Amino acid sequence: MPKQVDHRERREAIARALWRVVDQRGVLHLSLREVAREAGISHGQLQHYFASRQALLSFAMDFAAEQTSLRVSRGLEELGDSPHPRDVLRLTLTEMLPLHADARTTSRMNAAYVLEALHDEKLLARTRDGMLQARLQVEQLIREAITNGHIGSDRDPTTETNLLLALTGFATLIELNVIDPQEVLTAVDQHLDRLFG
């Protein structure tokens, strides 16, 4: 009896191959043929799962976002019941920075995806919607922290959200070896200490 192929599993394996291409060789090498070669399948097999580069990139980004969410969820479990909002924000921020192999791959995927989105209306709208939703979640955390007295009531939640998300700009500086990851963590911690101080 022929082995049943798990389509989701195959799509995820292809997405991981795409991550490796972006991570090791850069976005300029991101073609269906290159990803198929990395995945160890034929170009035709890859097209059975993804009809276009955009479809593959979108799936790979969704999968990367899922993996980040899983890492954050595991981190939240480790923080225990009712974690302090400072710890939740730190966990969320550090998972958005290339501080370990999985987050580095996701960071590079994000950069590739943004470059692609700048030249594709559908991807641009999709990317913007995803970022707006992520931003809203951070702002809700900050609003709750203000309401519960963890952050001063004189702080503006919109501004504080923007400042926190600006810290994700460290990703480029880490990737280019301008700033050491430990220095980034120190800056993140000092910012959070001031916010919650």
pLDDT in tens, 68-119: 889 999 999 999 999 999 999 999 999 999 999 888 888 888 888 888 888 8
Tell whether 88 is covered by a domain: yes
At 3 the pLDDT is 54
What is the helix, strand, coil percentage profile of the chain, to 5? 80, 0, 20
Residues of the chain with pLDDT under 50: 1-2
Strands, DSSP E only, in the chain? Answer: none
Tell whether 84 is covered by a domain: yes
In whole angstroms, give the CA distance from residue 49 to residue 55. 9
Domain count, the chain: 1
In this structure, the number of other CB atoms found within 10 A of the CB of residue 109 comes to: 22
CATH at 150: 1.10.357.10
Supply the range of the domain harboring residue 173. 53-196
At 6 the pLDDT is 77
Tell whether 20 is covered by a domain: no
Tell whether 46 is covered by a domain: no
At 114 the pLDDT is 85
The pair of three-digit structure tokens given for residue 90, joined into one six-digit string: 């730190």
Helix (H) or strand (E) holding 69: helix 53-79
